[in-house]
Amino acid sequence: MILLAESGSTKTEWCLVNDDGIIERYLTDGINPYFQSRREISHIVRLQLPPVFFKLKANTIYFYGAGCSSTAKKDTVKASLEAQFRTPAIVESDLIGSARSLFGSEKGIACILGTGSNSCFYDGDSIIKNVKPLGYILGDEGSGASLGKAFLADCLKGLAPEELSVPFFDKYGIDPDQILDYIYTKPSPNKLLSLLSIFLYENLGHPYAKDLVYQNLKSFFVRNIQQYDYKNYPVRFVGSLANMYASLLKQIAKELNVKIDLILENPMNGLIAYHKSKGRL
């Protein structure tokens, strides 16, 4: 039995898995060592997971997470997990997790669209090339944070149509000063920006909303996918935003001659299949 965890900045999915399938499944807050200390990560693990995850002893923990790209960040998460579970942990980036989920042992271009965004060329075993995502300030095109930032900026500058900006502020019960205070003084503003971007999806029938989303998603193709050998390999997506905007992604892909053959909302089932194929359960 293993403990599989897949984490973005917003949520972490935990699964206890053996050869017969999933034993337990649970969601906690997201874990990202760029924004959280070892102590904060330990608090999420210990206080949010139900007792069964600690009572049923897994042989190994496989954790795939946002922010787990460097050795130092991986070690922060690894130390926390091993202290809480008393079980060896292997920590990898959410990007390699997504690639394994989407392609298994095949080659292709793996893309993540969620709170943040990322992409890579995967050779069936390792990440060979990664166009740097750069985070929600400098990059993360097509992500919830990027969409939220663009829409919020337009609302605050008076560029968004009033028929959208007025109900937007009413719905969330916030004023411009409160928003600015949160964005510039509170931790993890990317989560708030991503949450606010859902308003665009709810109003995708409005020409402004559809065009903003379309242009943002297209920039992900131009600034990321087109830097890989996309003409010779399939492109696959995973993530909540990818699933929400699947039809727009396919439309843009067709316009740019990019072949998308799979879009998943969640990578967990693919990760379970990958680890089963490697005889690790």
pLDDT, residue 196, reads 87
How confident is the prediction for the chain on average, in pLDDT? 92
pLDDT class of 131 with cuts at 50, 70, 90: very high
Give the chain's length.
281
Q: How many CA atoms lie within 13 A of 13 on its CB side?
A: 15
Pairing of strands 108-113, 117-122: antiparallel
d(CA 198, CA 35): 23
Please tell me the predicted confidence (pLDDT) of residue 193. Answer: 87
User: What is the tens place of the pLDDT at every residue in 223-271?
Assistant: 999 999 999 999 999 999 999 999 999 999 999 999 999 999 999 999 9
Instruction: Give dist(CA 213, CA 273) in Å, integer.
Output: 33
Say whether pLDDT at 218 is over 90: yes
Helix (H), strand (E) at residue 215: helix 207-223
Q: Which helix (H) or strand (E) holds 230?
A: none
Is a pLDDT exceeding 90 seen at residue 279? Answer: no
Strands 21-29 and 11-18, by their bridges, are: antiparallel
Element (H, E) at 211: helix 207-223
Q: What residue ranges define each of the domains in the chain, with the CATH number in brackets?
A: 2-97+268-277 (3.30.420.40), 137-214 (1.10.720.160)
Query: Are 262 and 101 contacting, i.e. CB atoms less than 8 angstroms apart?
Result: no
Rounded distance between C-alpha atoms, residue 129 and residue 35, angstroms: 25
91-to-78, 82, 123 alpha-carbon distances in Å: 6, 11, 20
Neighbours of 18 (CB within 10 A): 14
Q: Which SS3 state, helix, strand or coil, does residue 64 take? A: strand
Task: Collapse the DSSP code of 37 into the 3-class scheme (helix H, G, I; strand E, B; otherwise coil) and give the result.
Answer: coil
What's the rounded mean pLDDT across residues 62-66? 94
Please, which residues have CB within 8 angstroms of residue 168's CB and are 6 or more apart in sequence? 151, 155, 160, 196, 199
pLDDT of residue 275: 93
Query: Is residue 187 over pLDDT 80?
Result: no
| Integer CA distances (angstroms), 195 to 45, 202, 208, in order | 23, 12, 19
Q: Which two tokens stand for residue 184?
A: 């510039």
Whether 117 and 141 have beta carbons less than 8 Å apart is answered as yes
